[in-house]
Structure 1
Amino acid sequence: MCPLCVLDVLQAGCVPVIMADSYILPFSEVLDWKRASVVIPEEKLPEMYTILKSIPHRQVEEMQRQARWFWEAYFSSMKAIGMTTLQIINDRIYPYAARTYEEWNNPSVVKWSSVNSPLFLPLIPPRSPGFTAVVLTYDRIESLFRVITEISKVPSLAKLLVVWNNQNKSPPEESLWPKVTVPLKVVRTKENKLSNRFFPFDEIETEAVLAIDDDIIMLTSDELQFGYEVWREFPDRLVGYPGRLHLWDHEMGKWKYESEWTNEVSMVLTGAAFYHKYFNYLYTYKMPGDIKNWVDAHMNCEDIAMNFLVANITGKAPIKVTPRKKFKCPECTAIDGLSLDQTHMVERSECINKFASVFGTMPLKVVEHRADPVLYKDDFPEKLKSFPNIGSL
């Protein structure tokens, strides 16, 4: 029996009858075809009618349901066939995280929501390629250079990419930039949009991306290296430093953005966060509804949008690293700073409600968790600690 014939039978809602000893059914490595088909040895061809008549009617109905589900889940389109093939390959490469027999063959245990770990993200990316730091900047040259200087000390840094978001002013001359040992590229944008920080630039060749603002001058190289090491363990998460929380306001009957220091976290700000570059593609080309336009029009909430996107795809909470409480740039006190705008916090709550409406759900997950280095609080000599320069409360 040809493979296409089997698919035609499945599409018709019938139970395939296989009468070829050497025939290998599609995806038989993971699919239990005994649940959805009848296999009759060639030597018993004369008994085919008797064998089929002996199958109880209830069993036939169960096999029909399984065959119909096989068709819908694994064969109904080229995309379904391709994704099934890739999932099998992924299971071979990472057998300890592979789908179980029941997940492949039992519809009742499969989660058909959008919440799934992205297929192509490795469980533990290799250490050697390092990460690309993407620094969004507009016109704060002094703090930008300080950020670049500190980031350049991180052992795993592979490349620095500065996203120049000011169309009315040229970047400093090349001779004025800090001297670093990794490639440094300045990309000039065509419009001043916050979403530019998440564009999938060709210059990003590493899997890991560190999104960082030009005013985050307080993070040490140890804190950044530790954040990267944590991300390597959880490459499908947002791993960041400033934590935030969303709360339900019972009086107002809507969601509220909370920036005060609490034990609970549901977001990490992408002003300083690691993530997989795959999410740049999703943010730029697959963000639901008009969220991207909303972000760019309001010049706010691109970080909240990214948290929504990652949480909706993975069903997982972000990971906050290091205990540092405040993230403030003492020199960055310009009146026109976004975070100093009185409407900024109000808009943040509006963003959460807007995004929840577009997604049709509240994907953000609340956790009480923070990742700290081993021996962080222990009274040991600093030379015994892998990350001694970690900021305190």
Structure 2
Amino acid sequence: MSMVIAIREASPGGDYSPAKEKASNRGVYGGRSPLLHRRLRLFVGGAKYKLMLFLSLLISLYLLSSKISPFMGWNPHYPSSVSSPSRGGYTVLINTWKTNTLLKQSVAHYASCHGTDGIRIVWSEIDPPSNKLRANLKKVAERAHKENIRFDLNDEVNLNNRFKPIEDLKTDAIFSVDDNVIVPCRTLDFAFSVWQTAPLTMVGFVPRMHWLNEETNGVVHYRYGGWWSVWWMGTYSMVLSKAAFFHKKYLELYTNKMPSSIHNYVSKARNCEDIAMSLLVANATGAPPIWVKGKLYDIGSSGISTLKGQSDRRNKCLNDFVSLYGTMPLVSTNVKAVDATHEWFW
């Protein structure tokens, strides 16, 4: 049997010494200080501790956020009988009245948005749209490769017209908007993604609030809160249909299931159809709407919202509707959806 024997050379300073070799390996005879070794070990140990602490903090924040979300009123995984739309787009429902110039600008803009599947125009004038207007809007839409554009004609001026059921809709999502309101495409598509997480509720850009005003003889009276009260208090319970997403099924519910007394009220007052829709959705879901933070651009007159005494009329509408419902279905919330990828601060 053969054996391999390692031969070590003697050190320059004298005979070979195992003790000297062992000490050299520990650093006594090497060029590195044992103090440096100890500091390196302490540093590595501290880094591991900081990494474990950081990971523990991330896990804690994740668990906390998962509990806060439902508590704050918006649960993206809220069980729904309405499935999230699979066709990946939305129909822009534009309400217009004798403002063809604004309508052309509005159609041109929304046809350019990536998520727009089709455009429907609620026309409530005695005279139908001219052939010139039709051809112009069709050309604008085709230029943006959006050929699905149609007029829904009504022969009377009635604000209930904007919520009539629409045949041949290809999408579950409706984006209801006034012809003088422009929402940037990127903001609009973000709001659509928010709506897809909660397709039962309304998701919009114009928040409003109902405030308890007084109670007399057991009857509660409410005050309609505009933008400044929402901004000041950070609470809202409605998003107006002048710029909001909702499921197409609410068109059917509004027209055929909502009390006719409310239809008559809206028709006679020529006002408050947006409050009626908010009450309808809240009554159906028992949940608050979702306000999406985003810029809106008003490209024309604001219509009846600028009339004198509008605040008093809105207060009356709100209380009369609640009386007709027999209850207050609106649910307040302070949740706001923000596209964090385009915000400087959270």
TM-score, length-scaled by structure 2: 0.69
State the partner residue of 1:125: 85
Match of 2:304 in 1: 338
Aligned-residue offset at 1:329: 2.5
Structure 1 residues 193 and 220, CA, compared in 2 at 3 Å: closer, same or farther? same
Distance 1:265 1:187 in 2: 32
Look up the match of 2:177: 212
Please give the alpha-carbon distance, in whole angstroms, between the structure 1 residues aligned to 2:297 and 2:341: 27
Letter in 2 for 1:249: N
> For the residues of structure 1 that align with 2:131 and 2:316, how far apart are their CA atoms?
37
Within a 5 Å distance, the mapping from 1:217-228 to structure 2 comes to 217=182, 219-228=183-192
- Verify: 1:192 aligned to 2:157, yes or no: yes
Pick from 202, 206, 220 the counterpart of residue 167 of structure 2. 202
After superposition, give the CA deviation of every residue in 1:349-380 in whole Å (9 maximum; x if it has no partner). 1111011111111110111111011323238x
- Does the aligned pair in 2 maintain the 1:118–1:314 contact within 8 Å? no
| 2:291 maps to which of 311, 320, 333 | 320
Distance in 2, matches of 1:119 and 1:370, equals 21
Which amino acid in 2 is paired with 1:230? V
Partners of 1:220 and 1:236 lie apart in 2 by 24
Work out whether residues 118 and 236 of structure 1, in 8 Å CA contact, stay in contact via their aligned partners in 2.
Answer: no
The residue type equivalent to 2:309 in the other structure is T
Cα separation, 2, equivalents of 1:150 and 1:301: 27
Distance 1:118 1:136, change over 3 A: farther
8 Å contact from structure 1 (residues 321, 372) kept in 2: yes
| CA 1:315–1:235: 2 relative to 1, 3 Å | same
TM-score of the aligned structures, taking structure 1 as reference length? 0.61
Secondary structure (helix, strand or coil) at the match of 1:133 reads: strand
User: Distance in 2 between the 1:254 and 1:240 partners?
Assistant: 26
1:4-153 to structure 2, matched below 5 A, reads 120-122=81-83, 124-126=84-86, 128-153=87-112
Q: What is the CA-CA distance between 1:330 and the residue it aligns to?
A: 5.0
8 Å CA contact 1:135, 1:214 repeated in 2: yes
How far, CA to CA, are the matches of 1:147 and 1:293 in structure 2?
30
CA deviation vs aligned residue, 1:90-110 (integer Å, no higher than 9, x gap): xxxxxxxxxxxxxxxxxxxxx
Partner residue, 1:44: none
Say if 2:224 and 2:311, in contact at 8 Å, map to a contact too: yes
Asked if 1:229 is matched to 2:193, the reply is: yes
Q: Does 1:154 align with 2:113?
A: yes
Confirm whether residue 291 of structure 1 aligns to residue 265 of structure 2.
no
Structure number with the higher helix fraction is 2
Q: How many residues align?
A: 255
CA distance in 2, matches of 1:281, 1:118: 22
Residue of structure 2 in register with 1:274 after alignment: 245
**Which of 209, 213, 221 is the aligned partner of 1:249?**
213
* Aligned-residue offset at 1:319: 0.4
> 1:258-315: CA deviations, max 9, x gaps?
1133211100010010000001100000002500110111111111001001101100
Query: What amino acid maps onto 1:214 in structure 2?
Result: D
Report SS of the residue matched to 1:309. Answer: helix
Which has more radius of gyration? Answer: 2
Among 323, 327, 334, the residue aligned to 1:361: 327
Separation in structure 1 between the aligned mates of residue 252 and residue 79 of structure 2, nearest angstrom? 13
C-alpha distance in structure 2 between counterparts of 1:289 and 1:305, whole Å: 12
Q: Is the 8 A contact 2:195 2:245 kept in 1?
A: yes
Q: Aligned partner of 2:213: which letter? A: D
One-letter code of the match for 2:105? Answer: R
Q: Quick one: distance in 2 between partners of 1:370 and 1:297?
A: 34
Looking at structure 1, the residues matched to 247 and 179 of structure 2 have their Cα atoms a distance apart, in angstroms, of: 20
Q: Give the Cα–Cα distance (whole angstroms) in 2 for the partners of residues 176 and 125 of structure 1.
A: 31
- CA shift at 1:249, angstroms? 1.1
Is the Cα contact below 8 Å between 1:231 and 1:274 reproduced in 2?
yes
SS of 1:136's partner is strand
CA distance in 2, matches of 1:176, 1:364: 41
Q: In 2, distance between residues paired with 1:197 and 1:118?
A: 29
State the identity %: 31
- What is the SS of the residue equivalent to 2:93? strand
What is the RMSD of the two structures over their aligned residues, measured on CA atoms? 2.1
